[in-house]
Every structure is written in C-alpha cells, then in structure tokens.
Structure 1
Amino acid sequence: MSLDKLVESNYAQLNEIDLYIWQYILHHKRECQKISIHELAHECNVSHTSILRFTKKLGLDGFSELKFYIKWDLSQKSEFTPQIINEACDSFVKTIDELKNHDFTHVCSMIHHAERIFVYGTGVLQNDMANELRRQFLYSNKVLHIAGHGTELDTLISNVTERDMLIIISLSGDNEDAVTLARILKGLKVPMVGLAKTNNCLLSKYCDEMITFKYYTFHLGMTDKLYGCTAQFFLVADFLFLKFLEYLNESK
C-alpha cells in the first residue's frame, strides 16, 4: 500500500497537526527520504513526538518505517498498460455518477443568494476551471469574480462579507494557501464551497459544502511525480452549472 493510501485509510484518526505533517511530506517526499525526525519536526513547526504520533496513527512502527514508505513511493515506476486507460475511464464514469446523485440544493441556494461570488484556484488547472465556471455562469446572469494571489487575496479578505461567498478549487484539499484562506474566511462567517478529490482534507473542515470527484493517478516512469487526468475538474464545472439551472427552474 502506498503512503497516500495509508493516510487515506486512517484519515479519521488524524487531527489538524497530523494533516499539516502529511501536507509537508506529500509535497517534499524527495527531501523527506533523507532528513532526520528532528529536521522534519522543524520544517513542520511541530515537536518530534508529534511526528511519532502521526506515524503510530498510520499503523507504522516509527519514523524509520515512515521513511521506508517514502522511499518505496519514490521508487515506483510505471510501464504504461491498457489497464491505466481503463482505470482513467472508470474514474470519469464514477465521477459522473457521484455528481449526478449529489445533492446540490444548498450549494445552488448559496450561489443564488450571494451578493458576490469569488472563485479561488490553487494552480494553473484550478484557475482554468475557475474561468470556465465564470464563463458558464454568465449565461445565468451570475458574475463570478476570479480571486488572484498575493495582494489580491489580501484585498479580498479585507472586503468580503458574510453576504458574499467563495468557491475554493483544490486538487488535494490540503493546499496551504487555500486552507489558510478558508480558515480566515470561516472566522468572518463567509459561506464557502470547496472542490477537491476527497472529503478527507483540511479544506472540508472550513467549507460549508464540499464537492468531490474521483481522481486516478499513475507514475509516468520518467519522474517521481504522479500524473492524473484533468477532465474531472470540468465535469464538476458542467454539473454545477447544470444543477444551478435545475435549481432556478424548480424555484420558479
């Protein structure tokens, strides 16, 4: 079992500190295979006992076994097979089924009643989805404002109110900038909807609603990075807009 799957299967036992440790490891696996427990604790701004508690919650014997899993993850290579295409197609079908059966009533109500709607994406693909949502919702006379990064976020935080709403688009749902933004706006009582591949993420702790999708990844064999198909992001965009049109029709 990969470290990612190990975390996913034990997610219910993890607290916010555990998730921040995992977030650092997830994005720095190559560095983490070489550092000591004290160095990792320093990077995560936690105690070394917090690292040990995290490993125990995953069912591991300690930090050494955690590093073994990290090295094993990094060593995985892929020989491209037809099964990968089958798995990718299966993730598309499961995403469609999940979205078709998802109750969007509250999300659509939030969109309908919000004075202003802001959309924040954590990366290039997420920003593409944000722009696609903006294009689609113009057809229903709803203007979505794309929230930028840096000083633009500071301006957003300074001006947003509880009469507005924010849509946060993240793949993992554990992106540090997205989670920090969500935590701040939660304190300001701003309604929020999160989009991520799983409910088992930090973002879900702060958002009023989460929309999730199936996301299949595989090793390219050329780097230690995982590759995942991106159609799911745009399937979510399409379904959210279609469900909103359905909501407007039923409201009449």
Structure 2
Amino acid sequence: MPHSTFRKIQSTYPRLSKTDQLIADYITANDQQVVHMTISEVATQLAVADATIFRFCKRIGYNGFQDLKIALAKEKKPIQSIHDEISEQDDEFTIAQKVFQSNIQTLQNTLTLLTQDTMTVAINALNDSKRIYFFGLGGSAIIAMDGYHKFMRTNKPAFAFIDSHFQLMSASQLTKDDIAVIISHSGKNKDTLQILMTAKEAGAKTIAITSFPRSPIATKADITLLTSSEETEYRSEALASRIAQLSIIDALYVNLMVKNKEQSDTVLQNIRKAISKTRQ
C-alpha cells in the first residue's frame, strides 16, 4: 500500500462510517488493482453506489476517484533507499545510519497522522482532569513510566505502575475527574484492553496511543492518537513506534506546561531544587 495514501486512510479511518471503512479496507487490500479499475467496477465489487465511492475519496483528501488512482499509480513502486532494510552485509556505521533514518521516518509519518482537532481535544481533556494516569504493559510500560516522569513536572498529579495488577487495581479506583493514557502499539493486548475498560467503567476519560486505528483499544478509547512505524527484518514495528509514542507524550507534556505556565513553573522549580541537593 502506498505510504502517503495509507496514512490518509489510517488517519481518517476512526471517523469513517461503516460503509466508508468497507471501501477503505478494499482499497488498502487491492491498491494496485484499483489503479486499473473504474469507479463503477469498485462500486459493483462492494455493492455500493458510484457516488459513495466518490464521497469516500473526498473525505480522505482527494478530489475524486481519478485523483486517488493517480496517487496510487505514482506511488506504485517506491524507490528503495538506504533506510528500508538492514542487511547482514552492512557495516556498523551503515546500520547506525539506517536505525537513525528509520526513527526520523517514523516521526515524519506520525506527524502526518496527527490533526489539530485531535490534539486540541486531547490537551483540553488533560487540562480538565485533576489526575493523570499512564498505563502500558511490556515495552509500553516503559513509555508509560516516561510519561509519568515528565508529567510529574506539571501541576497535575501523575501516576504509573509497572505491575499489571497494580495498573488494573488503580484503574478501578479512577473517577470522572481523572484521565487514563493507555499505550499499546498493537492496540489489542487483552490485559491492556481490560485496564482501559475498567478505567472507562470507573468514569475516567481515556486517551489511547496506538498504531492501529481499527484495534479494540483505539476504537474504545475516548480519544485516539495514532503513531506510524514500519517493520524490517531486524527492527519490529513496536520498536520503531516507541520513538513516536515518546514524541506524542512529549507534545502532550509541553502543551500542558504552556497552558499552565505559572503553576507548572512552581512545580518545576521545586523539583529542580530537590534534585540539586543530590548533586555535588
């Protein structure tokens, strides 16, 4: 699937109707065939009207079906670059270059998935909360702890726990004044989903940070922030998405600090004063 077209579909997918999601799924799975099809042929395959296909193309940012086909054709065979795959024949510095470029590409791709509206809603939800909780299991637990480490510098009490049982227990104690930030690359970990649903049942607002818009966690959270990453033989998607997850948390943190500059400055000064006593 061409990368820019995929990102357009991925970024709008949660807001699409069931019919539009059906069209999105078909184009994602058959992008190279769609290039050679007419709008009526696609409509017949999906048992929808031509106008429905046309409106879908407009919703994801194209002028129409023909415009979408041109984009698909242009992106049919992306140029292979040094960043695409790591080879056993690569020397150490070349591998380092590829890892760095992969991280850069992940950040650039993720930035295209972020929208003004979603970020504004997420920041306002954080700002309206009294307490912020970060949840994640496995590798995502490290990201959750990083969120806790940053947000304890804000004027909002922040919490995170490594142990999954502690996370579930704390989720059950949340209130409507709290917000839960749920981190999961796949968005389908059963234990993480249970934590999310427990937080929602307790009345808390929820933000999901994930790479898959159709995943259970993405669709059930109140607010979803999407990351984008690509898998190679030696570098899993989850490993690359970590960089994007950290950057999204950084963006949330800085926004909240700006919104509450005076209060946050006081907290930050107190933390710096305490830490300074540990240094010679």
Q: Which TM-score tier does this pair reach, normalised by the shorter chain?
A: 0.5 to 0.7
Q: Is 1:139 aligned to residue 153 of structure 2?
A: yes
What corresponds to 1:130 in structure 2?
Answer: 144
What corresponds to 2:256 in structure 1?
Answer: 244
Q: Is 1:104 aligned to residue 116 of structure 2?
A: no
Identity %: 15
Relative to 1, partners in 2 of residues 1:12 and 1:232: Cα closer, same or farther, differing over 3 Å? same
> How far does the alpha carbon of each residue in 1:72-92 deviate from its partner, in whole angstroms, 9 at most, with x for none?
xxxxx9746779655553222
3-state SS of 1:217 partner: coil
Instruction: Check whether the contact 2:109–2:229 (CA below 8 A) recurs between aligned residues.
Output: no
Instruction: Check whether the contact 1:108–1:247 (CA below 8 A) recurs between aligned residues.
Output: no
Deviation (angstroms), 1:121: 1.0
State which drifts further: 212-221 or 197-206. Answer: 212-221
Q: Distance in 1 between matches of 2:238 and 2:199?
A: 32
The unaligned stretches of length 5 or more in structure 1 are 14-76
Instruction: Check whether the contact 2:176–2:203 (CA below 8 A) recurs between aligned residues.
Output: yes
Deviation (angstroms), 1:154: 4.3
Q: Distance in 1 between matches of 2:21 and 2:222?
A: 19
Q: Distance in 2 between matches of 1:208 and 1:160?
A: 15
Instruction: Check whether the contact 1:195–1:210 (CA below 8 A) recurs between aligned residues.
Output: yes
What corresponds to 1:210 in structure 2?
Answer: 224
Deviation (angstroms), 1:151: 3.4
Q: Distance in 1 between matches of 2:252 and 2:238?
A: 25
User: TM-score, with normalisation over the residues of structure 2?
Assistant: 0.53
Q: Distance in 2 between matches of 1:227 and 1:165?
A: 24
What corresponds to 2:52 in structure 1?
Answer: none
3-state SS of 1:96 partner: helix
Relative to 1, partners in 2 of residues 1:131 and 1:149: Cα closer, same or farther, differing over 3 Å? closer
Q: Distance in 1 between matches of 2:146 and 2:171?
A: 23
What corresponds to 1:45 in structure 2?
Answer: none
Instruction: Check whether the contact 2:185–2:238 (CA below 8 A) recurs between aligned residues.
Output: no
Output the aligned Cα RMSD.
3.5
Instruction: Check whether the contact 1:78–1:219 (CA below 8 A) recurs between aligned residues.
Output: yes
Relative to 1, partners in 2 of residues 1:79 and 1:104: Cα closer, same or farther, differing over 3 Å? same
Which residue among 238, 244, 247 is the counterpart of 1:235?
Answer: 247
The unaligned stretches of length 5 or more in structure 2 are 23-84, 262-280
Task: Kindly name which structure, 1 or 2, has the bigger radius of gyration based on alpha carbons.
Answer: 2
Q: 2:190 is matched by which residue type in structure 1? A: E
Instruction: Check whether the contact 2:174–2:203 (CA below 8 A) recurs between aligned residues.
Output: no
Structure with the bigger RCO (C-alpha within 8 Å, sep 6+) is 1
Instruction: Check whether the contact 1:220–1:227 (CA below 8 A) recurs between aligned residues.
Output: no
> How far does the alpha carbon of each residue in 1:166-195 deviate from its partner, in whole angstroms, 9 at most, with x for none?
110111111111112222333333210001
Corresponding pairs, count = 178
What corresponds to 1:183 in structure 2?
Answer: 197
Which residue among 182, 195, 210 is the counterpart of 1:168?
Answer: 182
Which residue among 233, 251, 255 is the counterpart of 1:219?
Answer: 233
What corresponds to 1:16 in structure 2?
Answer: none
